[in-house]
């Protein structure tokens, strides 16, 4: 497994692989890898000749008051993890490699980015779309793997690839959870012992909402109210949003039908966590 930090090194490697007609699976991450990332990598490993993982804490997708500086990083551990899963190349650029001095081109998206996390993180998805676009141009993958954990991000990437005619297959992978239900996240490391227990209100609320919809509840407001109630029982939790949206457009719905996404963002202390469920 190679670990490289320049765009040129990736390009040369990719060129050599393409010459041999080898397919490339790509998993973009911000590092501090866990089994959630692992499931994406394993999926990529099974379906491609070569697997590239990028590890880049993208400054452009963080707001001015967010956790860019404190975001956890551990390249050594991540490298060992990737190696154990059969990754061929890690791309780990410095911000200066990705954003040169006069950088001023962005990939922006309307509609889908204006709801859910886009409301509390206004420039977040512009940063995500821009960096994913750049990474796609560098890695030129056949398939790229994203987690359902970030459901809005996955919907946005799918839309971007379709709207901008990118010849890349986007594969969505299910949420990987801790044994007690908490969705795995690099940000879980911020939680104190007490907060870690409190964080279970997210998965409890998701489980409850999902059970209600599965039992036939079609009134989005009722589902949301019950889910909010569950979260509000937890004193350390502050709701950012609990919403029911169309699974493709991310627009709020009142009546549950077709593909839907029920998504939540909750602060546990200072840590903002997300979770969701989807239904066809």
Q: Which residues bind ligand AMP (CB under 6 A)?
A: 29-30, 36-37, 39-40, 146-147, 149-150, 173, 175-176, 183-186
Considering the complex, state which of residue 22 and residue 72 has its C-beta at the smaller distance from ligand AMP: 72
Tell me which residue of 196, 193, 213 sits closest to 261, measured CA to CA: 213
Contact 25/48 with Cβ under 8 angstroms?
Answer: yes
Considering the complex, state which of residue 79 and residue 186 has its C-beta at the smaller distance from ligand AMP: 186
Tell me which residue of 27, 30, 59, 24 sits closest to 130, measured CA to CA: 59
Write the burial class of residue 220 (CB in 10 Å: 0-12 exposed, 13-18 middle, 19+ buried): buried
Q: How far is the CB of 190 from ligand AMP (least distance, A)?
A: 13
Q: What is the DSSP letter of 22?
A: -
How many whole angstroms separate alpha carbon 180 and alpha carbon 36? 15
Say if strands 260-268 and 237-246 run parallel, antiparallel, or are unpaired.
Answer: antiparallel
How many whole angstroms separate alpha carbon 155 and alpha carbon 150? 9
How many whole angstroms separate alpha carbon 117 and alpha carbon 265? 8
Q: How far is the CB of 9 from ligand AMP (least distance, A)?
A: 22
Active site residue 92: no
Widest pairwise Cα distance in the chain = 58
Considering the complex, state which of residue 93 and residue 147 has its C-beta at the smaller distance from ligand AMP: 147
Query: Which residue out of 37, 92, 124, 255 is catalytically annotated?
Result: 37
Considering the complex, state which of residue 155 and residue 223 has its C-beta at the smaller distance from ligand AMP: 155
Q: How far is the CB of 7 from ligand AMP (least distance, A)?
A: 20
Q: How far is the CB of 277 from ligand AMP (least distance, A)?
A: 13
Q: Which residues are marked as active site?
A: 37
């Amino acid at each position: 497994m190679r670990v490289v930090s320049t765009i040129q090194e990736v390009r040369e490697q990719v060129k050599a692989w393409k010459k041999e007609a080898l397919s490339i699976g790509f998993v973009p991450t911000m590092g501090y890898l866990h089994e959630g990332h692992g499931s994406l990598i394993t999926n990529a490993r099974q379906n491609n000749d070569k697997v590239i993982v990028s590890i880049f804490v993208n400054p452009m997708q963080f707001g001015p008051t967010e956790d860019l500086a404190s975001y956890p990083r551990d390249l050594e551990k991540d490298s060992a993890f990737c190696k154990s899963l059969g990754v061929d190349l890690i791309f780990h650029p410095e911000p200066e490699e990705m954003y040169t001095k006069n950088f001023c081109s962005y990939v922006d998206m309307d509609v889908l980015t204006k709801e859910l996390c886009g409301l509390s993180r206004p420039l977040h998805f512009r940063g995500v779309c821009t960096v994913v676009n750049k990474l796609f141009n560098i890695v030129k993958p056949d398939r790229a793997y994203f987690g359902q954990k970030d459901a809005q991000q996955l919907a946005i990437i799918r839309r971007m690839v379709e709207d901008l005619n990118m010849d890349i297959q986007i594969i969505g992978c299910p949420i990987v959870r801790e044994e007690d239900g908490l969705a795995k996240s690099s940000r879980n490391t911020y939680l104190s012992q007490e907060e870690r227990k409190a964080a279970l209100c997210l998965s409890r609320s998701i489980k409850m909402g999902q059970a209600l919809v599965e039992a036939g509840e079609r009134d989005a407001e009722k589902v949301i109210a019950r889910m909010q109630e569950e979260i509000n029982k937890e004193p350390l939790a502050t709701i950012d949003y609990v919403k029911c949206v169309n699974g493709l457009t991310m627009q709020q719905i009142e009546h549950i039908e077709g593909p839907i996404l029920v998504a939540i963002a909750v602060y546990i202390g200072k840590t903002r966590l997300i979770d969701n469920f989807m239904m066809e």
